[in-house]
């Protein structure tokens, strides 16, 4: 999986989020990020590509912004639940 495919897929998940399915969309996104990593994708490349998406949605939609920021936390390891750390 290429980084552009990852970002496109994550954005599609973020666009379809509502409060009822947040956890499901979050987990789907984490699985996409793990797949990207398993295909040889890099941590910094994923973070750098996803960061502009968070900026895009920061003022547009709080739920989408929060979801994208949580995926960024999974990438960089700042998420409290160790089960969602993608890279060591």
Note the pLDDT tens digit of each residue in 33-66.
999 999 999 999 999 999 999 999 998 888 899 9
Residue of 13, 19, 5, 27 lying closest to 57 (CA atoms): 13
Give the model's pLDDT for residue 79.
79
Q: What is the pTM of this model?
A: 0.91
**Is the separation of the CB atoms in 58 and 48 below 8 Å?**
no
For 59-79, what is each residue's pLDDT tens digit?
888 889 999 999 999 999 887
| Residue 27: other Cβ atoms inside 10 A | 12
Range of the domain at 11: 3-84
**3-state secondary structure at position 86:** coil
pLDDT beyond 80 at 88: no
Could you give the number of structural domains in the chain?
1
């Amino acid at each position: 999986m290429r980084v552009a495919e990852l970002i496109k897929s994550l954005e599609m998940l973020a666009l379809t989020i509502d409060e009822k399915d947040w956890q499901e969309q979050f987990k789907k996104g984490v699985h996409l990020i793990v797949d990207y990593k398993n295909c040889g994708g890099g941590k910094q490349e994923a973070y750098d590509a996803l960061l502009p998406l968070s900026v895009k949605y920061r003022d547009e939609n709080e739920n989408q912004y929060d979801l994208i920021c949580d995926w960024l936390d999974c990438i960089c390891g700042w998420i409290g639940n160790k089960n969602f750390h993608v890279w060591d």
